[in-house]
Amino acid sequence: MSAPEIVFDNVSKFYGEVLGVNRVDLHIPPGITSLVGPNGSGKTTLMNLMTGLIHPNAGVIQVRGISPYAPEKLMRILGYATQYDAGPRGATGYEFVHTGLVLFGFPKAECERRAWQAIERVGLTAAAKRKVAGYSKGMRQRIRLAQAIAHDPEVLILDEPLNGLDPLVRAETIALFRDYAAGGRHVILSSHVLQEVDVFSDQVILIANGMIVAEGQIKSVREEIHEHPSQFLLHCRDASRVASLLFAEPHISEIKLAPEGAGLLVLTRNREAFAAALERIALSGIDIDGVIPTDENVDALYEYLIGGGK
Amino acid sequence: MTPYQQIWTIARLELGRVFFSKRSFWVYILAIFPSIIFLGHALEAGLKKRNWSADRVTSAATLNQVQTGMTDDQVLALAGKPISDVTRKRRIRRDDEDPDAEKQPEVRRYVMYFDGKKRVDLRFEDGKLVARNTHELMNFEDDRRVYATMFQFFYLRLGIFFGCLGIFINLFRGEMLDRSLHFWFLAPVKREVLLLGKYLAGLIAASLIFGTGALLSFLAMALPHDPTEVAAFWQTIGPGHAFWYVAAAGLGCVGYGSVFLAAGLLLRNPILPAIVMLIWESINGFLPDVMQKLSVLHYLQSLCPVPVPLPNDMPAVLKMLLAPAAPSSIPVAVLGLLAVTALVLFAAMQSVKRLEINYGTE
């Protein structure tokens, strides 16, 4: 039974004099984890380190208890869909997936069954006998995903897996990630599409300039950022009165009228005190129809943490 | 799946790519070049024989009666019409200050006869026969020496050398350029096993290409000769010679393959290891005995069944470059080559464990 976490212990990686990642400490639990950061921030470096495609200059990495220096063990539990097409030149989609399985030592019939199953799972059955070279960008993404999941790995790593997918396929692919992660497996992906990551990730790792800026569930990460006020949208009929009552609270830093009379945008430095104040206002007979946190998403976190690098 | 099965599976998957790689297509040209040369030689000899036979054949007995000192008219009367007859007159220049000019003949005549197998060249000076040379149109003994020279100087030193460079250096470096090496690195196999699988694929391809090339060129050299002579050759030393030429080609692939596989892991530019290796192999004859044992060519030359004939008047330095200083016995040569290969492959295994995928920045 392998340990269920992916651990980076003080890991640094340099490409010559160029920093890849610096002193990374991570404990990634099972579920969907998104690596978010601008180009060159170190997302792919982290993924390549996890999979042993590159080696750290310092520190130790364990993927469910297995060192990336032991590919014969690691690759049995790990599937990695990179950004690059790889496989026999001139291969069809089916051959692309099947060839990867041959090296796992499955019997011939089992290789065929798994290859077809994985291809069906990404919705490419009809195109499986066509050459990968003739695939569209989205189809290539999906065939790489099929290859990564064909041996049913415990850890699935995907570099920009949603690039080039149309909305329908994107939704299906996200559903596949959720389904995959539901069984206690790791799904780790990188993406520039922050809204999507926000919606389906169990946790995020924000990375900039090779350093981890924040990690954890989006909500808990947000709560750790004390220096930035939390933002809420209050839906209420008597906005001016609610605003005057809230201004009396010391933790409130700013109140704005929301556009088109939708209510109030309130910035507070103390979420508990803000909740208590709202309770008092409600008990005094003023109707508050709804309270929506407006910055518990990755965009907002990113804006706060690394200065609008999305 | 045992490591041996994995090695074989990797080799099987790689074979197609190695055989049909665009980057190493020229390898085939290197392999078949000697066959083309010998076929061309056989074709030329056959055409000459046909033309001369159609023109005129003079019996060997008649030509044996031709002696130096005879006049050209006497020879022509005895042997009849030649296959070639060329006369050249000396030009007399007024400003000729050569004191020996007066001693030189006024007229030179070159006459050729053909007896069905040999060409007899006669040289007349001022009407008298002064020189007579006989050339066999196809001399098996000579051709075997020519083959030995070609095999050691072209096939081993250049053909197999650069052929292996093209095949083996691309096993890893080529995949790095194609951005496809991670396909292998993401497979559940040890890097060392992957290296051996790729090496096996390269070795099978190179040995087949160059082993076949050696055998074809050997056959192209031998078969056009007199069938009786060829049959006698095949019943005695022929199979042994053919075997050792093919074996030397195969072992050349074993040795050079390992070196260039390792070079492909360590260096980006294939020109550098090629130049270094070529220099190393060339100067090997000058090195102490121990250092000579670290050369692939040293062992390969020791395996060749026919020593290369080097002219006696060849400068010593050149002789040293072209001939193995102290050939090893066949068992020592084979084992020595395998030991060098094992050493290089071990170093390559250490290197491949540290090899990283770095196609570019993310």
DSSP secondary structure of A114-145? HHHHHHHHTT-GGGTTSBGGG--HHHHHHHHH
3-class state of residue A190 by DSSP? strand
A71·B5 Cβ contact <8 A: no
Region of poorest pLDDT, from A145-149, A165-169, A176-180, A217-221? A217-221
Contact B9 A103 (CB under 8 A): yes
**pLDDT of B192:** 95
β-strand A186-190 against A58-63: which pairing, if any?
unpaired
Given this model, what pLDDT does residue B206 score? 96
**Residue B348 distance to chain A (closest CA, Å):** 16
Decide if A105 and B16 are in contact by the 8 Å CB cutoff. Answer: no
pLDDT the model gives residue B361 = 39
* pLDDT the model gives residue A1: 46
- What ipTM describes this predicted complex? 0.79
A183: distance to nearest CA of chain B, Å? Answer: 23
How near does any CA of chain A get to the CA of B10, in Å? 7
> What is the CATH code for A223-306?
3.30.70.100
Here the CATH number for the domain that contains residue B72 is 3.30.1450.10
Q: Does position A259 have pLDDT exceeding 80, yes or no? A: no
Q: Which residue of B has its CA nearest to A78?
A: B186
Backbone angles phi, psi at B10, to 5 degrees: -60, -45
Within 8 A by CB and 6+ apart from B335, the residues are none
Domain boundary among B136, B166, B193: B136
Q: List where CATH 3.30.70.100 sits in chain A.
A: 223-306
Domain that holds residue B21: 3-44+139-354
User: Which alpha helices (H) appear in chain A, and where do they start and end?
Assistant: 43-51, 71-77, 93-102, 108-121, 137-149, 167-182, 194-200, 218-224, 239-247, 271-283, 298-306
CB contact under 8 A, B9 and A86: no
Query: Can you give the pLDDT at residue B98?
Result: 63
Taking an 8 Å cut-off on Cβ atoms, the answer to whether B13 and A99 are in contact is yes
Residues 6+ apart with CB under 8 A from B299: B251, B255, B328, B333, B334, B336, B337, B340
Are residue B126 and residue B160 in the same domain, yes or no? no
Distance CA B157, CA B23 (A): 21
Query: Among A300, B285, A3, which Cα is nearest to A310's?
Result: A300
Of B9, B353, B362, the CB nearest to A44: B362
Average pLDDT over residues A255-270: 81
> In terms of domains, do B213 and B283 share one?
yes
In a domain, B10, yes or no: yes
Mean pLDDT of A143-158: 94
On whether both B122 and B197 belong to a single domain, the answer is no
Q: Which CATH class is domain A6-216?
A: alpha beta
Q: Identify residues of A whose CB sits under 8 angstroms from chain B CBs.
A: 15, 39-40, 42-45, 48, 51-55, 69, 71-76, 78-80, 82, 84-89, 99-100, 102-105
Q: Are residues B59 and B203 in the same domain?
A: no
Q: What is the pLDDT of residue A263?
A: 83
Positive/negative CA dihedral, B250, B255, B260, B262: positive
Given an 8 Å threshold on Cβ–Cβ distance, is B180 in contact with A80?
A: no
In terms of domains, do B63 and B80 share one? yes
Of B17, B182, B189, the CB nearest to A72: B189
Mark yes or no for CB contact B362/A39 under 8 Å.
yes
Contacts of B87 (CB under 8 A, 6+ apart): B107, B108, B109, B110
Do B89 and B170 have their domain in common? no
Residues B110, B182 within the same domain: no
| B354–chain A Cβ distance below 8 A for any pair | yes
Q: What's residue A227's pLDDT?
A: 63
More confident residue, A17 or A131: A131
How many domains would you assign to chain B? 2
Query: Is the Cβ–Cβ distance between B299 and B216 less than 8 Å?
Result: no
Residues from chain A that touch B1, judged by Cβ atoms under 8 A, are: 104-105
Residue ranges, comma separated, of all CATH 3.40.50.300 domains in chain A are 6-216
Residue of A nearest to B356 (CA): A54
Task: State which of B82, B110, B136 marks the end of a domain.
Answer: B136
Q: Cβ of B80 under 8 Å from any chain A Cβ?
A: no
Give domain status of residue B361, yes or no: no
Instruction: Give per-10-residue mean pLDDT for chain B (362 aa).
Output: 89 88 84 94 88 84 90 90 87 61 78 89 92 87 91 91 91 85 91 96 96 95 89 93 94 94 85 85 75 81 81 68 69 90 94 84 36
Interface test with chain A among B15, B19, B21, B183, by most A beta carbons within 10 Å: B183
Residue B316 shares a structural domain with residue B213? yes
Q: What is the full DSSP assignment across B185-204?
A: HTSSS-HHHHHHHHHHHHHH
- Kindly state the tokens that stand for A168: 């329908």
Burial of A193 (0-12, 13-18, 19+ CB in 10 A): middle
Q: Are strands A230-236 and A288-293 parallel, antiparallel or unpaired?
A: antiparallel
- Confidence band (pLDDT; 50, 70, 90) for A81? very high
Which of B118, B136, B154 is a domain's end point?
B136
Do residue B167 and residue B35 come from a single domain? yes
User: Helices B26-55 and B161-177 meet at what angle, rounded to 10?
Assistant: 150
With contact defined as beta carbons under 8 Å apart, do B115 and B63 qualify? yes
